[in-house]
């Protein structure tokens, strides 16, 4: 779902960078405290898993496909700040190793998918957990995917309004919200459902293996 | 192209930001030509590598712009050229950077970032190899093509097995390195 380079204006990515840098700093500051020595190798594996999920195409009805994100899983296992930081690394790797996504779009993608996605999944999961843990995972991941998709659609749809040439022609992404909202949100209903199921599968596995500190009653 | 990898990486970052500030298609065409000229041998492969990840996005955007122009009756050539050229120039810059910049050397002054990049890249390679191993094992033991349901179940089993193996491998490597005094930073 992340935005590639060249479609968003400096008016968007520069303020996003200003917001993202202190958040990265804050997340990095608490990183060592939140992730103990024992959990570090596990975090590396889960970060790699998020990367693989992002490049993994899921078959959807009608022959189309979309890619999962993996940030919800990171948030549920390691917490939202760690998920935000590691998902930024995933985005960096995608941009610098695969040529997917982009450097200028990195702060926007990191905020929309990494930060908002991770916090939505984390908070919703803890809010719904008393109802039913499995339902909480499914709902948290599904809503976080839709929320991130909504933000990406809003950012893209904003471009023709804030970055126009003298003749009014768009300089970056050319379509407004009437196009971006349905075009991005509708496929993500399917992607979100598939990713929620996938996250539940891995989350249950992680809980069985005692990789989630809160589920095992001990610090990782 | 400068010989130092950190300098090359800094040049790439500056070039990417500069390209987003250019709004004239003719200038972007010149930049594209200049990049192709400067990138040395293997230009077609580089162009192909740059074009592949953005091809579908550009096709989708271009057809959308054309439909929009057709519906509103407004000229769209400028916007069409501008967006296509900018995305292509940025993709070419990234492809060139990927080909000619060693990220491990480029990020030498950021040891924490470099360490994480190396660890995660190692895990990604491990995942890919494990997935390939399991896929081959499954194929070699199946004579008929699996149904969609079987494919989903198979993928889930492969994924969880790869996750277990990945975690085990990472923990083993970390413990081995720590016991040899390699991770005392």
Average pLDDT, chain B: 82
Kindly list the structural domains of chain A, giving each domain's residue range(s) and its CATH number in brackets, ordered by start: 10-215 (1.10.1760.20)
Q: What does the pLDDT read at residue A217?
A: 52
d(CA B136, CA A43): 27
Do the chains contact at A175 and B68, CB–CB below 8 Å?
Answer: yes
Range of A192-206, B53-67, B110-124 with top mean pLDDT: A192-206
Q: What does the pLDDT read at residue A65?
A: 43
Q: What does the pLDDT read at residue B116?
A: 72
The minimum CA-CA distance between B124 and chain A, rounded to whole Å, is 5
Q: What does the pLDDT read at residue B151?
A: 77
Chain B 109-138, residues with CB within 8 Å of chain A CB atoms: 116-117, 119-124, 126-128, 131
Q: What does the pLDDT read at residue A62?
A: 36
Among chain A residues, the shortest Cα distance to B161 is held by: A205
Chain B residues with CB-CB distance to A42 below 8 A: 167, 170-171
User: What ipTM did this prediction achieve?
Assistant: 0.76
Residue A47 sits at φ, ψ, to 5 deg, of -65, -40
Do the chains contact at B170 and A171, CB–CB below 8 Å?
Answer: no
Question: What is the pLDDT confidence band of residue B47, given thresholds at 50, 70 and 90?
Answer: confident
Q: What does the pLDDT read at residue A66?
A: 56
B27 touches chain A (CB under 8 A): no
Closest CB from B50, B87, B167 relative to A45: B167
Q: What does the pLDDT read at residue A220?
A: 38
The minimum CA-CA distance between B85 and chain A, rounded to whole Å, is 9
**pLDDT tens per residue, range A184-213:** 888 889 889 989 998 999 999 888 888 886
Chain B residues with CB-CB distance to A5 below 8 A: 16, 20, 87, 90-91, 94
Do the chains contact at A6 and B95, CB–CB below 8 Å?
Answer: no
- Ordered by start, the domain boundaries in chain B are 5-105, 110-179
Element (H, E) at A67: strand A65-67
Q: Which of A66, A50, A70 is nearest to A58 (CA)?
A: A66
Range of B4-18, B59-73, B142-156 with top mean pLDDT: B4-18
Question: What is the pLDDT confidence band of residue A63, given thresholds at 50, 70 and 90?
Answer: very low
Chain A residues with CB-CB distance to B123 below 8 A: 44-45, 47-48
**Alpha helices in chain B, H assignment, sequence order:** 5-19, 25-38, 43-72, 77-100, 103-106, 111-140, 148-179
Q: What does the pLDDT read at residue A218?
A: 46
B63 touches chain A (CB under 8 A): no
**pLDDT tens per residue, range A91-139:** 888 887 776 778 888 999 999 999 999 999 999 999 999 999 999 999 9
B164 touches chain A (CB under 8 A): yes
Do the chains contact at A6 and B87, CB–CB below 8 Å?
Answer: yes
CB count in 10 Å sphere of residue B100: 14
Question: What is the pLDDT confidence band of residue A219, given thresholds at 50, 70 and 90?
Answer: very low
Do the chains contact at B171 and A41, CB–CB below 8 Å?
Answer: yes
A32 touches chain B (CB under 8 A): no
Q: Out of A53-57, A178-182, B28-32, B91-95, pick the least confident.
A: A53-57
Are A88 and A2 contacting, i.e. CB atoms less than 8 angstroms apart? no
Which pair of structure tokens corresponds to residue B143?
């004579």
Q: Out of A192-196, B19-23, B57-61, B113-117, pick the least confident.
A: B113-117
Q: Out of A104-108, A134-138, B41-45, B152-156, pick the least confident.
A: B152-156
Residue A66 sits at φ, ψ, to 5 deg, of -150, 170
In percent, the amount of chain B with pLDDT more than 90 equals: 8
In percent, the amount of chain A with pLDDT more than 90 equals: 38
Q: Please tell me what DSSP assigns to residue A11.
A: H
Q: What does the pLDDT read at residue A29?
A: 85
A205 touches chain B (CB under 8 A): yes
B87 touches chain A (CB under 8 A): yes
A142 touches chain B (CB under 8 A): no
Alpha carbon A14 to its chain's center: 20
The minimum CA-CA distance between B163 and chain A, rounded to whole Å, is 7
Chain A residues with CB-CB distance to B78 below 8 A: 165, 167, 169
The arithmetic mean of pLDDT across residues A145-151, rounded, is 92
Do the chains contact at A48 and B126, CB–CB below 8 Å?
Answer: yes
Element (H, E) at A66: strand A65-67
Q: What does the pLDDT read at residue B168?
A: 85
Is B185 a residue whose pLDDT tops 60? Answer: no
């Amino acid at each position: 779902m992340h935005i590639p380079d060249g479609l968003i204006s400096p008016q968007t990515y520069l303020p996003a960078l200003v917001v993202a840098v202190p958040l990265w700093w804050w997340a990095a500051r608490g990183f060592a405290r939140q992730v103990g020595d024992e959990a570090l190798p596990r975090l590396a594996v889960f970060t790699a898993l998020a990367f693989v999920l992002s490049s993994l195409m899921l078959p959807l009805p009608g022959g189309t496909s979309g890619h999962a994100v993996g940030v919800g899983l990171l948030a549920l296992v390691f917490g939202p700040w760690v998920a935000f930081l590691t998902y930024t690394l995933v985005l960096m790797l995608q941009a610098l190793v695969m040529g997917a996504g982009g450097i200028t779009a990195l702060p926007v993608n990191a905020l929309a998918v990494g930060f908002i996605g991770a916090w939505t999944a984390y908070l919703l999961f803890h809010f719904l957990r008393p109802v039913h843990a499995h339902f909480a995972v499914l709902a948290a991941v599904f809503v976080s995917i839709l929320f991130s998709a909504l933000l990406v659609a809003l950012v893209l749809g904003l471009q023709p309004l804030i970055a126009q040439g003298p003749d009014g022609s768009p300089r970056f992404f050319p379509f407004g919200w009437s196009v971006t909202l349905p075009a991005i949100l509708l496929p993500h209903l399917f992607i979100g459902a598939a990713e929620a199921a996938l996250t539940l599968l891995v989350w249950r596995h992680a809980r069985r293996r005692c990789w989630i500190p809160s589920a095992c009653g001990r610090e990782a | 192209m400068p010989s130092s990898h950190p300098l090359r990486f800094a040049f790439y970052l500056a070039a990417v930001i500069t390209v987003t500030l250019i709004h004239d298609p003719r200038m972007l065409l010149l930049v594209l030509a200049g990049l192709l000229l400067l990138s040395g041998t293997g230009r077609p492969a580089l162009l192909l590598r740059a074009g592949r990840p953005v091809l579908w996005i550009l096709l989708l955007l271009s057809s959308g712009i054309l439909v929009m122009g057709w519906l509103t009756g407004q000229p769209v050539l400028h916007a069409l050229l501008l967006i296509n050229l900018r995305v292509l120039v940025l993709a070419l810059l990234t492809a060139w950077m990927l080909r000619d910049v060693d990220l491990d050397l480029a990020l030498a002054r950021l040891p924490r970032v470099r360490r994480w990049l190396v660890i995660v890249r190692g895990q990604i390679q491990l995942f890919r190899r494990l997935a390939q191993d399991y896929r081959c094992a499954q194929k070699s033991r199946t004579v008929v093509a699996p149904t969609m349901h079987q494919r989903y179940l198979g993928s889930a089993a492969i994924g969880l097995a790869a996750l277990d193996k990945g975690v085990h491998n990472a923990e083993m490597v970390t413990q081995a390195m720590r016991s040899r005094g390699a991770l005392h930073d």
